[in-house]
Chains A and B, each alone.
Chain A
């Protein structure tokens, strides 16, 4: 079993919809939770991070962590075509090494 599981999609939604992206994990030592966005033919870039459980909001993006369920989510409100990308969840314990999910490909239809 992988340490981090992520549905690969693809996920296609109309512009303006709310998008929900999710990951589950098995390692209870994870404390740092991140979401990366990767556009086609580019490297991943850090979108959001949270520490431990709770919510974090940044503009149209909200990251949620539920450590009791080992489940993290990224919500995108008022989705735009420019949000079309692959989204990778990532997590880490106290060390520097980060474990990545396999990514969900998201497409926003105009």
Chain B
């Protein structure tokens, strides 16, 4: 079974801090994604990556950046955390030739910015 591991389940950070959210997958998947999930708004795509050192903006990239130095690791960075970035953050991975298999998600990181 593919495993997607997010390093923290819960995080509390202060406004203005630089925040790193880490995601690691163990099945050699090329594609990785970062979403945030908010009540009533569903899953919104922040950034995605189809290969090492490659990144593409999703629907809501403002205030975020990403890093993919190794195939198995995709990091989301909040450059200067703000209270409106309080949310559940979900990482997912996928192998591109198996679209029908969908994404495998991590368990999520619930981030609170105070």
Contact = CB atoms under 8 A, between A and B. Distances in A.
A50 B31 CA distance: 21
Interface residues of B, number: 24
Interface string A87-99: 0101010111110
A97 B59 CA distance: 12
A23 B4 CA distance: 27
Interface residues of A, number: 25
Contact of A92 (B90, B99, B105, B106): B99
A64 to B, nearest CB: 17
Interface of B: 4, 31, 40-43, 45, 48, 50, 90, 92, 94, 96, 99-108, 110
Given A43-B4, A96-B96, 4 more contacts: A45-B105, A46-B104, A94-B99, A98-B103
Interface of A: 6, 8, 32, 34, 36, 41-46, 49, 51, 88, 90, 92, 94-98, 100-103
